[in-house]
Structure 1
Amino acid sequence: MNSLFAIVHFLPLADWLALGLFFIAWVGYALVAKRWALSKGSLLAATNRIRRQWMIQVTYREVRVVDGVVVQNLSTSPSFFASTTILIIGGLLAVLGASDKASELVRELPFAARTTGLVFDFKLVLLAAIFVYAFFRFTWSMRLYTFGTLLVASAPSELMFEHEGMAAREAFADRAGRVVAIAAETFNDGLRAYYLAFAAVAWFFSSWAFMGATLGVVYILYQREFRSEVLEILREA
């Protein structure tokens, strides 16, 4: 009972509310965005439809070298972010090792919250955990793009597709297009973690700034995924 009481009072109530709002907003938005993508359509859903169209076109080409190169090149973005994320995690761990000096520096910033060293370390650990999650999503996206390249490279010849008919083309497009789509969705999860990491940085200033930044980031994500100008263009494709 005493340990539970100590955990509850480890952070002020406002900080617990901000932390709860952060995770509820992150998980809740991810679930709602996936559901709305099926009913209302989203940027990711629109590009997934185009990916399937692309894989249909693959079945009509005898030489698919360019298609394989394009799929492999798509993995360069998650590869870049994975490498960058490693550097960020290393930097956060270095700051965690010198948290006393870092916390003193933060206290000198205007409007920054005055907290204990333990709470400051907890905020750094939260940031590190977010980027660790992003790293795993980016690296998994890289592997999925590799699987997509294998599917394109192992596709039957155009003559075989012509012999088997449209059903075979549709089956291949569904299979290969879905793998590439999952790779893109996984990469999107990593990017979403990056966006929300900026909201977590606001926690160093105050719990109210943390809450405001969380809501602001979710609003930006919603606008870009469901209300962006490029989405209207892709819907016409």
Structure 2
Amino acid sequence: MTLLATLFPLICYFAYNLAIPLVERYRPSLSVIMSMERRRWVANAARRESPFDAILSGNIMSSVSFMASTSALLTLAVFAVFGQLPSLMSALEAISLDRVYAVHDVVVHLIVMLAMFVLAFFSFTLSLRQFNHFCIMLGALDQETRPSEEEIEAVARLNSLGAQNFNSGIRAYYFAVATVAWFAAEWLSIVACLITIGILIHREFFSTAHRLAASAAVLASRKQRAAEE
């Protein structure tokens, strides 16, 4: 039970990332809708000469860079805890949560927490790299001649890949927070992970942001069809 509760957040993280693309085949998530809007962004950026797109890209990269730096700090913090295990064990016993902590179990749990933050770090840094490539490709678009649909699709797809990895890093944070519940009770860690999954599903498929984004995408699609006619 202890090992299952320890590994459960990591299992949920990978399972969620694998399952969501399957669900998106039948119901578009907020991420899918945003990918459509990203394509509109690239198509519009190819027609205008303005620093607006550079400012937007810079703001996005700043956010990703901040999260990547935070992940590195959290990783180092967990490493530091390994050198303070006696103090940690004393602190856990002082909390008096009516359970016995074995050093081996705590070490394994810390390794799982470390893995979550390392996964977040790699996701954020990969996202940052992809957004950097997106900025280069966006700047390379020739505004004197309209880019082809394939070129617009490629640039937008790279933007979406960056967002996908950014979301993956955010999810790692969510499940890492759920691992903290393990120190209170093993079963509470499992419950916290299930609640986290419920929150993520709600935000992706049933949130107010999802409804507003879907409405905006539909209106934009109608406007585009009317302009083409």
Map of 2:88 onto structure 1: 102
> Paired residue for 2:222?
none
Q: Sort the Cα spacing of 1:222 and 1:42 in 2 relative to 1 into closer, same or farther, 3 A.
A: same
1:170 aligns with 2:149: yes
Quote the residue 2:136 is aligned against: 150
**Paired position in structure 1 for 2:24:** 37
Name the residue aligned to 2:115: 129
Compute the displacement of 1:110 (Å): 3.9
Residue equivalent to 1:227: 206
The question of whether the paired residues in 2 share the 8 Å contact of 1:145 and 1:183 is answered with yes
- 2:161 aligned partner, one-letter code: I
The answer to whether the 8 A contact 2:9-2:176 is kept is no
| Displacement after TM superposition at 1:20 (Å) | 5.0
CA distance in structure 1 between the partners assigned to 2:152 and 2:98 by the alignment: 53
In structure 1, what residue type is equivalent to 2:36?
R
Amino acid of the residue matched to residue 93 of structure 1? F
1:48 equivalent in alignment to 2:35: yes
Q: Does 1:206 align with 2:191?
A: no
Partner SS, residue 142 of structure 2: coil
Structure 1 residue 109 displacement after superposition: 1.4
Q: How far does residue 64 in structure 1 lie from its aligned partner after superposition?
A: 4.5
Q: CA deviation at 1:115?
A: 1.6
Amino acid at match of 2:183: F
Q: Deviations over 1:19-46 (max 9, x none)?
A: 4543432222212211222320111111
| Alignment correspondent of 2:55 | 69
- Unaligned 5+ segments in structure 1 are 1-13, 162-167
Check conservation: 1:64, 1:152, Cα contact below 8 A: no
Q: Given residue 229 of structure 1, which amino acid in structure 2 is its aligned partner?
A: T
Q: Closer, same or farther in 2 for the Cα pair 1:147/1:64, shift >3 Å?
A: farther
Q: Percent identity?
A: 28
* Deviation readout 1:93-114 (Å, 9 max, x if unpaired): 1111011111110122142632
| AA in 2 matched with 1:160 | T
Which secondary structure does the structure 2 equivalent of 1:236 belong to? helix
Task: Quote the Cα distance in structure 1 between the aligned partners of 2:142 and 2:35.
Answer: 22
1:217 corresponds, among 185, 193, 196, to 196
Counterpart among 120, 145, 158 of residue 160 in structure 1 = 145
Aligned: 1:93 with 2:79: yes
Q: What is the TM-score normalised by the length of structure 1?
A: 0.86
**Structure 1 pair 112–194 and aligned structure 2 pair: CA distance change class (3 A):** farther
CA contact (8 A) 2:2 2:105 kept: no
Cα drift, residue 143 of structure 1: 0.8
Equivalent AA in structure 2 for residue 91 of structure 1: A
How many residues align? The count is 216
SS in 1 for 2:107: helix
